[in-house]
Structure 1
Amino acid sequence: MVPIENLNIDAIIEHMQAALSEGDGDQATTLLESLRRSDQAEFFSDLPPDQQQEILPLLSPENSADITNRMETRRLVEIVTEMEPDEAADLLGDISSEQAEQVLSQIDESEDIRYLLEHPDETAGGVMTAMDIHIKQNMTVD
């Protein structure tokens, strides 16, 4: 692949769409983050919801916050509702507390997300998940 700095915006978008169609969210994220912030938000808003949901948690905190600040709350609620609680908490922890509260107030089962948001990222509570893990008695560590 040609280095990103040698691509124009149309080529970056073309490569990003190819990466998304191949299921390469990491490459698509790298390409998206190579765009100017205003272009990132514009391109992101044109993505189908499933691709938005795939890419948003992979973005840097600054970029995800910038993009979500430009989104309608309704759309952000739809995305967060489909995320695992730990991913949702990570995303909502990167945006303004007012916007996060607007989103959480519209989610029926937001308790797990709220609980995870109480813990700073660098602590054990900040990296935990609210999902139940079931281990059978005959399972081993191997």
Structure 2
Amino acid sequence: MQLHISRSMRSITISSSSNNGFIDLMKIKVAARHISYRTLFHTILILAFLLPFVFILTAVVTLEGVNKCSSFDCLGRRLGPRLLGRVDDSGRLVKDFYKILNQVKNEEIPDGVKLPASFSHLVSEMKNNQYDARTFAFMLRAM
């Protein structure tokens, strides 16, 4: 049995001769263990462009206020509401309010609705009693 190690070819050859005179060869190739300079250069170049943006985005989110929102909420506001699947809630609120007003328009006014004397009374009553949007719409229609 012979063992031949070649450093330049990065291979190991094992040969053995059996009783019949045949030679069995087995070659093992060893993979290169170093990283090429080209790969290292491209990796450093990509990191040099990406890391400053990541740092600035993280710093801005952190400095704008820790207690105001969680990190995902702030990220959603920064990148835009549609990118993370969020939509503007004010538009949805207006649509819901219009839908309630249209429903109340077709219904009868209940008998137990107390009408305030002025707009300031209406606002104070809404604050104190915390009526829902449907009751508010009935009060507006009755006025």
- Relative to the length of structure 2, the TM-score reads 0.19
Q: Counting strand residues as a fraction of each chain, which structure ranks higher?
A: 2
Q: Greater Rg, structure 1 or structure 2?
A: 2
Q: Counting helix residues as a fraction of each chain, which structure ranks higher?
A: 1
Greater relative contact order (Cα < 8 A, sep 6+): 1
